[in-house]
């Protein structure tokens, strides 16, 4: 038996059987390609698929992809266990409420009421076969604030999220009620990673870790108490953040945190995104991080069809003053299973560019807003709030800001604004900045792109 895994598609192949899983819409075309290839290699194999896009586009996939025998709806543990236990697997698939085949349409999504019933994922065979490299990651080292290569154990300690953010699809498989692993089970999983693989960090991938703040504090204290870092794959909802939680991060040397603000416009948060969050609450939460060494990142989402120029102005007005250190900005992808998909794709009949859907493409943004933001809402906002109105510089943290700009230059060597603001930071901390300023001047002299942005923001030229 061979198990392969890639960021977006995982395949379990054994002779006579093949199970394909696609996590993201963008993985679907790869999954279908793999199914075709598996079919050629093993004409009699039973090929079944599952995951978000398979559940949402089930009828279409079954109708147009003869290589796939059946698709599982929703959570797969119970349907899969039933399939494995069935004497006649094809007969089971053609009668099960959880599966759709060419001749049978199940309509029930699989759902595990108590996730403690699902055994811990067993990574042993996988790591034994492919080596420790599969868990090697660039991680922060506890309290040191520096990054280095280490290893990461992955855990998901809960499923579900009660909120209704329009751009999110998580509820379509995992529902809106929180289901938690017991604390005993969580600690046993942490111990598994540490005792067997001596991991440097535990990466927790839950959607809504702050569903129970006291529980999360206990988990972080436990992991950090064992001298391991805690990494959070997902952003934190802002509203449930408490002072006790921030204190827990600080005492355990957690270096950075990413908060899901999503927009600096109150109207966009409330009327477009349906986020359970106000800007006043955001200010209260951001204030809790003051006086700690925690690097506070916020994530923002732009590019909704109904996001107007006034919304962007309101957002920028807020984001130029709020007390965070860096923002990551994405363009909306109307992913299947989300309310945004229904509003933007289903209700209008326009095409969903699934294969090319990514956070860099503003395929669904309001054209007037795009034009107002010089043709690229995300990038212009990035320059505005991460450079021109950089939060670290506003807070007088010039050395930290300089580090940030230096690392931008490492990845984007001709970033005029990074050189310009690095020069400004050096000036503040008393370091010679002639080279950085000269580099800025050289880049804007050679590039229409940068010279246009420099003019737009009124930078020296």
When asked if residue 304 is in the footprint of ligand SF4 (CB under 6 A), the reply is no
When asked if residue 238 is in the footprint of ligand SF4 (CB under 6 A), the reply is no
What is d(CA 433, CA 442) in angstroms, rounded to the nearest whole number? Answer: 14
Applying CB under 6 A, which of residues 26, 93, 161, 322 lies at the interface with ligand SF4?
A: 161
By DSSP bridging, strand 158-159 and strand 179-180 are antiparallel
Helix (H, G, I), strand (E, B) or coil at 250: helix
Q: Kindly state the smallest distance separating residue 243's Cβ from ligand B12, in Å.
A: 26
What is d(CA 341, CA 334) in angstroms, rounded to the nearest whole number? Answer: 5
Q: Kindly state the smallest distance separating residue 435's Cβ from ligand B12, in Å.
A: 35
Nearer to ligand B12, 65 or 330 (CB): 330
Helix (H) or strand (E) holding 33: helix 28-41
163 binds, among ligand B12, ligand SF4, none (CB under 5 to 8 A by kind): ligand SF4
Nearer to ligand B12, 378 or 415 (CB): 378
What is d(CA 73, CA 174) in angstroms, rounded to the nearest whole number? Answer: 11
When asked if residue 333 is in the footprint of ligand SF4 (CB under 6 A), the reply is no
When asked if residue 332 is in the footprint of ligand SF4 (CB under 6 A), the reply is no
Q: Kindly state the smallest distance separating residue 173's Cβ from ligand B12, in Å.
A: 4
Q: Kindly state the smallest distance separating residue 193's Cβ from ligand B12, in Å.
A: 16
205 binds, among ligand B12, ligand SF4, none (CB under 5 to 8 A by kind): ligand B12
Strand order from edge to edge, sheet including 326-331 = 236-237, 256-262, 295-302, 326-331
Applying CB under 6 A, which of residues 165, 223, 329, 400 lies at the interface with ligand SF4?
A: 165
Q: Kindly state the smallest distance separating residue 420's Cβ from ligand B12, in Å.
A: 29
Helix (H, G, I), strand (E, B) or coil at 99: strand
In the block, residue with structure tokens 């005993």: 184
Give the interface with ligand B12 as residue ranges (CB under 6 A).
Answer: 7-8, 19, 21, 23-26, 48-53, 72, 75-77, 79-80, 156, 168-170, 173-174, 205, 207, 233-234, 330, 333, 335-337, 359
Nearer to ligand SF4, 161 or 418 (CB): 161
C-alpha pair distances (Å), 401 with each of 184, 215, 261, 391: 41, 34, 21, 8
What is d(CA 28, CA 61) in angstroms, rounded to the nearest whole number? Answer: 10
Q: Kindly state the smallest distance separating residue 50's Cβ from ligand B12, in Å.
A: 3
- Angle formed at CA 411 by CA 375 and CA 312, multiple of 5 degrees: 30
208 binds, among ligand SF4, ligand B12, none (CB under 5 to 8 A by kind): ligand SF4
What is d(CA 204, CA 191) in angstroms, rounded to the nearest whole number? Answer: 14
Strand order from edge to edge, sheet including 17-22 = 2-5, 9-14, 17-22, 46-51, 70-72, 99-101
Nearest to 426 by CA among 438, 414, 415: 438
What is d(CA 254, CA 269) in angstroms, rounded to the nearest whole number? Answer: 28
When asked if residue 208 is in the footprint of ligand SF4 (CB under 6 A), the reply is yes
Tell me the two tokens of residue 363. Answer: 């395929």
Nearer to ligand B12, 381 or 393 (CB): 381
194 binds, among ligand B12, ligand SF4, none (CB under 5 to 8 A by kind): none
- Region of 41-49, 161-169, 225-233, 380-388 interacting with ligand SF4 (CB under 6 A): 161-169
Q: Kindly state the smallest distance separating residue 353's Cβ from ligand SF4, in Å.
A: 22
What is d(CA 70, CA 73) in angstroms, rounded to the nearest whole number? Answer: 10
Query: What pairs with residue 401 in β-bridges?
Result: none
72 binds, among ligand SF4, ligand B12, none (CB under 5 to 8 A by kind): ligand B12
When asked if residue 207 is in the footprint of ligand SF4 (CB under 6 A), the reply is yes
Q: Which residues contact ligand SF4 (rule: CB under 6 A)?
A: 161, 163, 165, 168, 170, 207-208, 237
């Amino acid at each position: 038996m061979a198990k392969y895994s890639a960021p977006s598609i995982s395949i379990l192949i054994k002779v006579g059987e093949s199970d394909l899983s696609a996590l993201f819409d963008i993985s679907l075309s790869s999954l279908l390609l793999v199914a075709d290839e598996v079919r050629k290699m093993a004409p009699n194999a039973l090929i079944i698929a599952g995951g978000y896009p398979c559940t949402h586009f089930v009828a279409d996939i079954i109708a147009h992809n003869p290589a796939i025998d059946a698709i599982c709806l929703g959570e797969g543990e119970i349907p899969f266990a039933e399939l494995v236990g069935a004497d006649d697997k094809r007969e089971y698939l053609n009668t099960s409420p959880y599966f759709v085949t060419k001749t049978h349409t199940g309509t029930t999504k699989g759902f595990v009421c108590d996730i403690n019933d699902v055994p811990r994922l067993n990574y042993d065979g996988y790591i034994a076969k492919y080596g420790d490299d599969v868990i090697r990651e660039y991680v922060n080292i506890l309290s040191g604030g520096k990054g280095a290569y280490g290893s990461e154990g992955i855990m998901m300690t809960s499923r579900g999220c009660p909120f209704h953010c329009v751009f999110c699809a998580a509820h379509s498989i995992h529902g809106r009620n929180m289901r938690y692993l017991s604390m005993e089970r969580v600690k046993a999983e942490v111990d598994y990673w540490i005792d067997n693989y001596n991991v440097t960090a535990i990466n927790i991938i839950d959607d809504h870790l702050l569903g129970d703040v006291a529980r999360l504090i206990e988990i972080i204290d436990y992991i950090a108490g064992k001298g391991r870092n805690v990494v959070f794959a997902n952003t934190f909802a802002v509203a449930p953040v408490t002072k006790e939680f921030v204190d827990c991060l600080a005492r355990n040397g957690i270096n950075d945190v990413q908060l899901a603000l999503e927009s600096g416009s109150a109207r966009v948060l409330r009327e477009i995104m349906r986020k359970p969050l106000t800007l006043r609450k955001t200010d209260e939460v951001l204030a809790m991080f003051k006086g700690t060494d925690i690097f506070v990142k916020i994530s923002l989402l732009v590019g909704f069809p109904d996001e107007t120029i006034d919304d962007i102005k309101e957002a920028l007005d807020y984001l130029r003053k709020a007390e965070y250190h860096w923002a990551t900005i994405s363009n909306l992808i109307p992913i299947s299973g989300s309310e945004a998909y229904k509003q933007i794709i289903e209700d209008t009949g326009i095409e969903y560019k699934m294969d090319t859907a990514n956070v860099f493409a503003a395929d669904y943004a309001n054209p007037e807003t795009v034009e107002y933001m010089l043709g690229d809402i995300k990038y212009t906002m990035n320059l505005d709030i991460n450079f021109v109105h950089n939060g670290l510089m506003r807070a007088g943290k010039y050395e930290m800001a300089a580090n940030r700009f230096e690392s931008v230059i490492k990845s984007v060597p001709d970033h005029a604004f990074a050189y310009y603001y690095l020069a400004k930071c050096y000036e503040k901390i008393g370091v010679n900045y002639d080279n950085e300023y000269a580099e800025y001047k050289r880049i804007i002299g050679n590039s229409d792109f940068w010279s246009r942005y420099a003019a737009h923001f009124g930078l020296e030229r």
